[in-house]
Chains A and B, each alone.
Chain A
Amino acid sequence: MEPFKQFTGIVMSLDQVNVDTDQIIPKQFLKLLERTGFGQYLFHDWRFHPNGSPKADFPLNQPRYKGAKILLARANFGCGSSREHAAWALKDYGFRVLIAPSYADIFYSNCFKNGLLPITLNDVTVSQLFEEIAQQEGYSLNVNLENQRIRKPNDEKLHFEIDLFRKQCLLEGLDDISLTLWHEEKIRSHEQRLHPFQLVDVSR
Chain B
Amino acid sequence: MPPRTLFEKIWNSHVVHEEPGRPSLIWVDRHLVHEVTSAQAFEGLRLAGRRVRRPDLTFATVDHDIPTTDRSIPIQDPIAKKQVEALARNCTDFGITFFDLKSPHQGIVHVIGPELGITLPGTTIVCGDSHTSTHGAFGSLALGIGTSEVEHVLATQCIWLEKPRSLEVRVDGAPSRGVTAKDIILSIIGHIGTAGGTGSVIEYRGDAITPLSMEERMTICNMTIEGGARAGLIAPDETTFRYIRGRRYAPKGEALESAEDYWRELRTDPDASFDRCIEMDAGKIAPQVTWGTNPAMVTDVTGEVPDPEDFEDLHMRKAAAHALKYMALKPGTPIQSIKLDRVFIGSCTNSRLSDLVAASRVVKGRKVAPDVRAMVVPGSQMIKYQAEKEGIDRIFTEAGFEWRESGCSMCLGMNPDILAPGERCASTSNRNFEGRQGRDGRTHLVSPIMAAAAATTGHFVDVREWDMAS
Contacts and interface: CB of A to CB of B under 8 A. Distances in A.
A90 interface: no
B434 interface: yes
B262 interface: yes
Interface residues of A, number: 58
Contacts of B152: 176-177, 180
B394 to A, nearest CB: 32
Contacts of B387: none
Given A26-B435, A83-B37, A197 B262 contact: yes
A183 B198 CA distance: 29
A26 B39 contact: no
A84 B436 contact: no
Contacts of A84: 37, 40, 128, 146-148
A23 B434 contact: yes
Contacts of A20: 294, 431, 433
Contacts of A30: 36, 64-65, 414
A53 B407 CA distance: 33
B50 interface: yes
Nearest to B86: A33
Contacts of A142: none
A200 B57 contact: yes
B405 interface: no
Nearest to A76: B195
A201 B27 CA distance: 19
A82 B431 contact: no
Nearest to B43: A33
Contact of A183 (B17, B21, B129, B226): B17
Nearest to B255: A196
Interface in B91-126: 97, 118, 120, 122-123
A197 B148 contact: no
Contact of A45 (B30, B36, B48, B435): B435
Interface stretch (A4-12, A62-70, A99-107, A148-156): A99-107
Chain A residues touching B, majority SS: loop
B27 A82 contact: no
A162 interface: no
A163 B195 CA distance: 20
Given A45-B434, A80-B130, A187-B157, A109 B149 contact: yes
Contacts of B122: 195, 197
Nearest to B150: A84
B464 interface: no
A198 B148 contact: no
Nearest to B154: A177
B469 interface: no
A162 to B, nearest CB: 12
Nearest to B83: A31
Contacts of A187: 16, 25, 27, 156-158
Interface string A184-202: 0011001100111111111
Nearest to B161: A109
Given A80-B130, A190-B27, A198-B123, A18 B195 contact: yes
Interface string A22-53: 11001110111111000000000100001000
B228 A197 contact: no
Interface stretch (B279-287, B311-319, B353-361, B452-460): B311-319
A70 B160 CA distance: 27
B433 A202 contact: no
B25 A82 contact: no
B245 interface: no
Interface of B: 16-17, 21-23, 25, 27, 29-30, 36-37, 39-40, 43, 48, 50, 56-57, 64-65, 77, 79-80, 82-83, 86, 97, 118, 120, 122-123, 128-130, 144-149, 151-152, 155-158, 160, 162, 194-195, 198-199, 225-226, 228, 230, 248-249, 251, 255-256, 258-259, 262, 294, 315-316, 318-319, 322, 412-414, 421, 431, 433-436, 439-440
6 contacts: A18-B294, A30-B65, A190-B16, A196-B258, A197-B258, A198-B29
Q: Sort A-B residue pairs by CB-CB distance and give the 9 closest, nearest first.
A: A113-B148, A84-B146, A197-B259, A110-B146, A76-B195, A82-B130, A84-B147, A31-B79, A82-B144
